[in-house]
Amino acid sequence: EAGVAQSPRYKIIEKRQSVAFWCNPISGHATLYWYQQILGQGPKLLIQFQNNGVVDDSQLPKDRFSAERLKGVDSTLKIQPAKLEDSAVYLCASSLGAGGGGNTIYFGEGSWLTVV
Amino acid sequence: AQSVTQPDIHITVSEGASLELRCNYSYGATPYLFWYVQSPGQGLQLLLKYFSGDTLVQGIKGFEAEFKRSQSSFNLRKPSVHWSDAAEYFCAVGRQNNNDMRFGAGTRLTVKP
């Protein structure tokens, strides 16, 4: 079974530039998550989708971050304009349903962003 | 909201020695508890999880964890560590009806030969 796919794996941009990350979840998984993991910290949930609807985006900095999951499968996370503090690994994850119901969350390998 | 504390930032053990990584959580109801492992440059891999039932749960790679409600703890253990176990370990807590899962800051494990 294919895992969660993410691209690009690595990206270096200058501050104030924009960047987009793509995620393809495990086939059949209705729930998709984007996490931000800053060096030395645990992952922090940015946004959670159930199919193509947003379940939780309370920790998403909406002035510069946006995410969409138009057809309930793939998702894109965009940062515009980027700040130095956005340097982090962006992890995409998916689960069959909402994980609190006992569904395991599976993570991709992450997209590493460096803002200079 | 729930929260997780991993008191140890970095632990070093000798290969073949036993291991215990500590995790304390804060949550008013019965939590869903997880341990994940992250190797350098990789995503997170689930080691084990606790939802209900037997408080001692077995996971992959020879790991186990014990849920102790009275101590609000979910410590991870392994009787004999292998060099390949060197990685970052994250404890996480989730809620029953929502997957607002919160992670600890992680414990980095170094294995000495």
Over chain A (116 residues), the average pLDDT of each successive run of 10 is 91 98 94 93 92 90 95 94 97 80 82 97
Closest Cα to residue A107, out of A50, A54, A29? A29
CB A21 within 8 A of CB A8: yes
What is the spatial distance between Cα B85 and Cα B110, in angstroms, rounded to a whole number? Answer: 8
B112 has pLDDT over 90: yes
Hey, what amino acid is at B9? I
Residues of chain B whose C-beta is under 8 A from some C-beta in A?
4, 32, 36, 41-46, 49, 51, 90, 92, 94-106
Q: What is the mean pLDDT of residues B56-60?
A: 96
CB A110 within 8 A of CB A37: yes
Residue A72 has a pLDDT of 84
Residues of chain A with Cβ-Cβ distance to B46 below 8 Å are 104-106
Residue A1 has a pLDDT of 64
Q: What is the mean pLDDT of residues B53-77?
A: 95
B63 pLDDT tier (thresholds 50, 70, 90) = very high
H helix intervals, B33-105:
none
What is the spatial distance between Cα A116 and Cα A104, in angstroms, rounded to a whole number? Answer: 35
